[in-house]
Amino acid sequence: MHTFKGFVTKEFYHIFRDKRSMLILFGMPIIQLILFGFAIRNELTQAHIAVLDHSKDAVTRELIHKIDASKYFTVSDELQNADQIKPAFQRGKIKEVIVLEPHFSRTLRRDGQAHVQLVTDATDPNMAQMVSEYTQAIISDYQQSLDQPGIIQAETMIPKTVMLFNPQLKSVNLFVPGLIAVILMLISALMTSISITREKEMGTMEVLLVSPLKPYQIIVGKVIPYMVLSLVNVLTVLILARTIFGVPFRGSFVLFMFEALLFILTALSLGLFISTISNNQQTAMMVSLAGLLLPTVILSGFIFPISSMPWILQMLSRIIPARWFLVIVRGIMLKGIGLQYLWKETLILGGMTLFFIVLSVRNFKIRLD
Amino acid sequence: MRTIRFLLQKEFLQIFRNKGMLPIIFVMPVVQLIILSNAATFELNKVNFYLVDHNHSTTSQELVSHFESTGYFKLNGYSQSVDDGIQSILAGRDEMVLTIPPNFERDLKARKHADLQLIINGVDGSIANLILSYSQSIIGKYNASIQPTVRQLDVNHNVGQINVQSVNWYNPELNYINYMVPGILVVLVTMIGMFLSGMNIVREREIGTIEQLNVTPIKRYQFITGKLLPFWIIGLFEMAFGLGIARWGFGIPFVGSFWLVMLITAIYLLAVQGLGLLISTMTDTQQQAMFIAWFISVVFILMGGLFTPIESMPIWAQRLTWINPIAYFIEIMRMVLLKGAGIKDIWELTTALLVMAGIVLTLAISRYRKASV
């Protein structure tokens, strides 16, 4: 036991001595949280658009003014003919061109209808869709202001909407749980796998293996510091998320810590497994990056909703631990639900952990070849 | 020149002797392209909803079948209690509860308007927004179909209708994959450029073989050229390979010039390799170097407009993209590949990349010392 304590202390020294890594280890979650909280959004604000107004009369001017005045658009260019649309898009700034037909207000009055064409730059399909929907909404708003009052009231049903758990639909509420998963993966899995492979690559693993420490003690000793670091980081992110962004925490804190520990164990066992199959740090790093971090970011539902993915990827996402952890954390933090809803996800995580521990133990070689 | 040639030979031997390297070069791009481009989408797929119909009338049934017939919504359960619906949202089975009040049909006929309630799971804001706007448009269409055609009745009192018609250029089917692929290629060459070439030098330092190189008569520029050039070539190859897969594997219609893309890639690679080199001059172990490189690239990628548009960010964050090479390169790639922009459309962005590459490389080379401290 005494030897073991000494070993763990040595590991802690190793990590804390490296000031630069420590700075990043603690700085990164904070910076990422701030980025996700403030900078990364999907909403439309002040998109640059251009108009190609063939008639330039009172109605079109009013309509353009109304669009320009909305917080979604800035009319930053007036085109003279249709040939200018292509270069405008190719320069990149303009997202949409609104084309108004000649003699707009006269046609509107005489024929009862006039035409507006919205040409969008659909290289970014999401953006194009949003831009065109918002423009249509503004135009139909304008249309209603044109209509005289007193026409027959039509039968209409009016939907009243309640947004559960996240009434303002703030994206940071969604990102914080995902961020916790990514940080835990990064520190627990990536750092562990690299630090063990490092001992192998440098040849110091041999020294450890011939020491009176048992193999499992070496592994546990390697893993403990990263576990502590992960927990500290999770708490930092939680506190910041609550104080700066007001992210709610509705469920049980004890349950949350238990699940976080479980996920850390899963990540550590994965890191361990990777270190048993790779011989140098570069391989360990590439395997961790491609096999753990990318899936955690892309396939877990962190940024992109799983339900939008093709069937095959939805199936693939089931073997990614972070996916289940995200369901749990979002459930606890945002929905405030307990174990009676989350037992299935918890069991899956537990099963995965066990699987990888068994696999790594079987793969762990106490002799060098 | 001869020295550099030998150095290059040594580097290439080392790279390809590493068994892990070939999969990284050939398999990673394919996997990344397939997974990233398919996973990174915000489109709405089948959403399960829960129905609480207190009305049980023809109108309410018609409304529900309108929801189902769009293909976006799937009726997953129903009962007479809203609480049951909320329970099913809590359990993650459903995303929305549609509640139709008891007097729905009567109100609609008599008072000309009736209320409906949509309870939406707001945990994922972007999905919730989609669900809301799809539901609203379904209800709006249903409204339009049941009301008498007002405008025909009333054409004389009316000012007239503005007809809006929408055209989507460059990507008429709004195919999200087309948009993602150029960005993913950028991530790909960034990983090759920044991670591998940066890591390579730290590795020599960590293992101690850099001492051996330092005592040889190799000049500083020769050493650095020998380290950068192999991954520069691999990066360029990677880009061509990725473009090929995207073009013929995915059938993405690229309209821009291939050689222009390669030219910009060559410049961009210099900038990120410079960054990798700079990181490696500041670190002692691969773990450190990897950590810093990972951190920088995550920030650059997230802020670079790959997943979320730069225009949506607050102004201060948009300013930060001025020093972000990934942001420039992603924009150039999309402009050239998807819109067919030429050199005169992108020369400003390209110049920015060139300047960046110059600064970073100079900084990295001047920081590199042959003497060990």
Task: Provide ipTM, 2 decimals.
Answer: 0.72
Choose among A62, A59, A107, A117: nearest CA to A85.
A117
B47: chain A residues, CB-CB within 8 Å: 307
Closest in B117, B288, B303 to A39, CB measured = B303
Burial of B115 (0-12, 13-18, 19+ CB in 10 A): middle
Residue A28's closest chain B neighbor by CA? B295
Maximal CA-CA distance, chain B: 96
β-bridge pairing B96-100 and B47-53: parallel
Q: How many CB atoms lie within 10 A of CB B102?
A: 12
Looking at the complex, does the CB of residue B308 fall below 8 Å from at least one CB of chain A?
yes
Q: Which of residues 148 through 177 in chain A touch B, CB cutoff 8 A? A: 148, 150-167, 169-171, 173-174
Mean pLDDT of the region A99-116? 82
User: Under an 8 A CB cutoff, do A159 and B142 touch?
Assistant: no
Per DSSP, the three-state class of B341 is: coil
Burial of residue B42 (CB within 10 Å: 0-12, 13-18, 19+) is: buried
B150 — phi, psi (to 5°)? Answer: -55, -45
Select the more confidently predicted residue: B312 or B157.
B312
Local confidence band at B153 (pLDDT 50, 70, 90 cut-offs):
very low
- Asked whether residue A158 carries a pLDDT value surpassing 80, the answer given is no
Q: How far is CA B355 from CA B322, B360, B367, in A?
A: 12, 9, 18
Q: Is it the case that residue B156 has pLDDT exceeding 60?
A: no
Q: Are A92 and B341 in contact (CB under 8 A)?
A: yes
Do B92 and A331 count as a contact with CB atoms less than 8 A apart? yes
Residue A325: predicted pLDDT = 93
Residue by residue, DSSP assigns A30-89 as: HHHHHIIIII------SEEEEEEESS--HHHHHHHHHHHHSTTEEEEEE-SSGGGHHHHH
Q: Is A216 on the interface with B (CB under 8 A)?
A: no
Cβ atoms B181, B30 nearer than 8 A: no
Per-residue pLDDT of A127-146, as tens digits, reads 787 788 788 878 877 877 77
How far, rounded to the nearest angstrom, does the alpha carbon of residue A155 sit from its chain's CA centroid?
Answer: 42
Maximal CA-CA distance, chain A = 97
In this structure, what token pair is assigned to residue A31? Answer: 């910076």
CA distance B252 to B245: 9
A285/B286 touch (CB, cutoff 8 Å), yes or no: yes
CA pair distance A183, A219, nearest whole angstrom: 21
CA Rg, chain A, in Å? 29
**pTM confidence score:** 0.76
Of residues A288 and A170, more confidence is placed in A288
Residue window 85-144, chain B: list those with CB within 8 Å of chain A. Answer: 86, 89-92, 104, 108-109, 112-129, 132-133, 135-136, 139, 142-143
Is the per-residue pLDDT at A368 higher than 60? no
Structure tokens of B75?
């009726």
Q: Do A159 and B118 count as a contact with CB atoms less than 8 A apart?
A: yes
What burial class does residue B84 get, using C-beta atoms within 10 Å of its C-beta: 0-12 exposed, 13-18 middle, 19+ buried?
A: middle
The answer to whether the CB of B65 falls within 8 A of the CB of B94 is: no
Asked if CATH classification 3.10.530.10 holds for the domain at B47-146, the reply, yes or no, is no
B219-273 pLDDT per residue, tens = 878 888 888 888 899 889 989 988 988 888 888 878 888 899 999 999 999 999 9
Residue B347 predicted with pLDDT over 80: yes
pLDDT digits (tens, 9 = 90+) for B122-142: 777 777 877 887 887 788 778
d(CA B98, CA B116): 8
> Can you give the length of chain A in residues?
369
- What pLDDT is stored for residue A41 in this prediction? 67
pLDDT-derived band at B104, boundaries 50, 70, 90 = confident
Q: Which residues of A touch B43 (CB under 8 A)?
A: 308
Would you state the pLDDT for residue B272?
A: 92
Could A116 and B150 be called an inter-chain contact, meaning their C-beta atoms sit closer than 8 Å? no
All structural domains of chain A with their residue ranges: 47-146, 166-368
Kindly state the average pLDDT of the residues B315-342: 86
Tokens of B201: 């030098």
Q: Which of A17-21, B160-164, B182-186 has the lowest mean pLDDT?
A: B160-164
Average pLDDT over chain B, rounded to an integer: 81
Cβ neighbourhood burial of B171 (10 Å; 0-12, 13-18, 19+): buried
Which is more confident, B272 or B289? B272
Inform me whether the pLDDT recorded for B157 exceeds 80: no
Which residues 25-44 of chain B have a CB within 8 Å of chain A? Answer: 28, 31-32, 35-36, 38-44
> B5 to chain A nearest CA, in Å?
25
**What pLDDT digit, counting tens, does each position of A200-230 carry?**
887 787 788 788 888 788 888 888 888 888 8
Q: What is the pLDDT of residues B79-96, one digit of tens each?
A: 888 888 888 888 888 888
Q: Which of B31, B41, B170 sits opposite A308 (nearest CB)?
A: B41
CB-closest option in B20, B160, B290 to A112:
B160
- Cα(B224)–Cα(B171) distance, integer angstroms: 43
pLDDT at residue B112 is higher than 80: no
Predicted confidence (pLDDT) at residue A106 exceeds the cutoff of 80: yes
**What is the distance between the alpha carbons of residues A180 and A186, in angstroms, rounded to a whole number?**
10
- Inter-chain contact B128–A163, Cβ cutoff 8 Å? yes
> Burial of B20 by CB count in 10 Å (0-12 exposed, 13-18 middle, 19+ buried)?
middle
Residue A92 near residue B342, CB atoms below 8 Å: no
Residue of chain A whose Cα is closest to the Cα of B114? A157
* Contact across the interface for B113 and A113, Cβ inside 8 Å: no
Contact list, B177 vs chain A (CB under 8 Å): none
The HSE-up count of residue A353 (CA atoms within 13 Å, CB side) is 20
Q: List, as ranges, residues 91-120 from A with C-beta within 8 Å of B.
A: 91-92, 95, 107-109, 111-120
> Residue B90's closest chain A neighbor by CA?
A335
The structure tokens listed for B50 are: 């829960």
CATH fold of A47-146: abc type-2 transporter like fold (3.40.1710)
Q: Which residues make up the CATH 3.40.1710.10 domain(s) of chain B?
A: 47-146
Distance CA B154, CA B336 (A): 50
| Pairwise CB contact (< 8 Å): A112 & B161 | yes
Given a contact cutoff of 8 angstroms between Cβ atoms, the answer to whether A291 and B24 are in contact is no
Mean per-residue pLDDT, B97-101: 88
For chain B, what percent of residues have pLDDT higher than 70? 92
**Helix B286-303 vs helix A281-288: angle between axes, to the nearest 10 degrees?**
30
Higher pLDDT, B207 or A79: A79
With 60 as the cut, is the pLDDT of residue B158 above it? Answer: no
Tell me which range, A136-140, A337-341, B332-336, B355-359, is most confidently predicted by mean pLDDT: B355-359
Q: How confident is the model at residue A151 (pLDDT cuts 50, 70, 90)?
A: very low
The closest alpha carbon to B143, from B198, B249, B62, belongs to B62
Number of H helices, E strands in chain A: 16, 5
* DSSP-derived 3-state class of residue B143: helix
**What's the CA gap between A297 and A362, in Å, rounded?**
29
Does residue B187 or residue B40 have the better pLDDT?
B187
Half-sphere exposure of A187 (CA within 13 A, CB side): 29
